[in-house]
């Protein structure tokens, strides 16, 4: 009489588990590890894409700012903002505006600010200009290579200044703080310079005088304003998007290899089952 019992698992590789068997503790750990890695990959991909998108927005903002600044620089000169408009002056809306103003220089309050220019190292010569309404605007008359003789070259009487509006540079220079007590200046900090000379009603900006605004032989050299903007946003955007693609690529490779590994394992199990049945 033939037996109705199923073939035994004799011949199956030692320790091999049935495909229908529930995963053990090790299998659960592997399963949850995969979920955690998938979540981490998703977070990294979304984060890198968000950073790349933000840099693209910054790029268009910077390009728009550069265009607006170019328009201000080459626009016809307008009257410099008076005290009523001082509170509304910002770097975004007013920096590098082409302005004009008239007044009397106060050479007794000349201030030298350390500078490095295309002409070499030296100083910016900052001189207060007293306007008809009693307010004061600091004028960067230009570059001078040395401290001596700066007061003697100051024009007397009413002068007309044509130049670019600049927002105050607070604090100091790189690794150097302004020292009002010793009159060592590393940035054109309007408020601090005005306070050091006890000037009142000082505008919150200064004006870079244009070239040849003064004709004396030893006059400071104007027109050396450097208009430049750091614009690396495209490089940053490409970097973030590249990192996002790397995360996506690595994730795809891991998933593909995991599928191949499981396919090989499944094929090996089936061969063991056939061997056992034989």
Between the CA of residue 180 and those of 108, 135, 186, what are the distances in Å?
A: 16, 22, 10
Phi, psi of 32 (to 5 degrees): -70, -30
The upper half-sphere exposure of residue 262, i.e. CA atoms within 13 Å in the direction of its Cβ, equals 8
DSSP classification of residue 33: H
Q: What is the pLDDT of residues 35-78, one digit of tens each?
A: 888 898 899 999 999 999 999 988 887 777 677 777 787 889 99
**37-51, 142-156, 196-210, 248-262 — which is least confidently predicted?**
142-156
Start-to-end Cα distance in the chain: 21
- Model pLDDT for residues 143-171, shown as the tens digit of each residue: 998 877 676 678 889 999 999 999 999 88
Residues 6+ apart with CB under 8 A from 164: 73, 96, 97, 98, 99, 207, 208, 210, 225
Q: Tell me, yes or no, if the pTM score tops 0.75.
A: no
Average pLDDT, the chain: 83
DSSP string, 48-72: HHHHHHHHHHHHHHHHHHHHHHHHH
State pLDDT tens for residues 67-109: 777 778 788 999 999 999 999 999 888 999 999 999 999 999 9
How many CB atoms sit inside 10 A of residue 98's CB?
17
What is the dihedral sign for C-alpha 57, 60, 62, 65?
A: negative
| CB burial string 23-46: b at 16+ within 10 A, e below | eeeeeeeeeeeeeeeeeebeebbe
């Amino acid at each position: 009489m033939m037996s109705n019992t199923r073939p035994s698992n004799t011949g199956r590789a030692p320790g091999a588990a049935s495909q229908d068997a529930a995963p053990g503790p090790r299998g659960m750990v592997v399963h949850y590890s995969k979920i955690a890695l998938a979540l981490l990959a998703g977070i990294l991909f979304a984060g890198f894409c968000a950073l790349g998108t933000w840099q693209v927005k910054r790029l268009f903002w910077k390009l728009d700012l550069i265009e607006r600044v170019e328009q201000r620089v080459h626009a016809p000169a307008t009257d410099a903002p008076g005290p009523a408009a001082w509170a509304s002056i910002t770097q975004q809306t007013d920096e590098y505006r082409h302005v004009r103003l008239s007044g009397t220089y106060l050479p007794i309050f000349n201030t030298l600010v350390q500078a490095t220019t295309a002409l070499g190292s030296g100083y910016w010569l900052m001189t207060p200009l007293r306007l008809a309404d009693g307010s004061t605007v600091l004028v960067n008359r230009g570059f001078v290579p040395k401290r001596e003789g700066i007061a003697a070259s100051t024009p007397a009487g009413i002068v007309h200044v044509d130049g670019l509006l600049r927002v105050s540079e607070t604090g100091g220079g790189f690794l150097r703080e302004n020292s009002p007590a010793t009159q060592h200046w590393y940035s054109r900090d309007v408020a601090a310079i005005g306070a050091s000379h006890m000037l009142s009603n000082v505008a919150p900006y200064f004006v870079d005088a244009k070239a040849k605004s003064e004709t004396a032989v030893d006059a400071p050299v104007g027109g050396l304003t450097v208009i430049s903007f750091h614009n690396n946003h495209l490089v940053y955007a490409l970097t973030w998007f590249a990192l996002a693609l790397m995360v996506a690529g690595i994730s795809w490779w891991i998933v593909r290899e995991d599928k191949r590994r499981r396919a090989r394992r499944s094929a090996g199990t089936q061969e063991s089952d056939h061997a056992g049945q034989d």
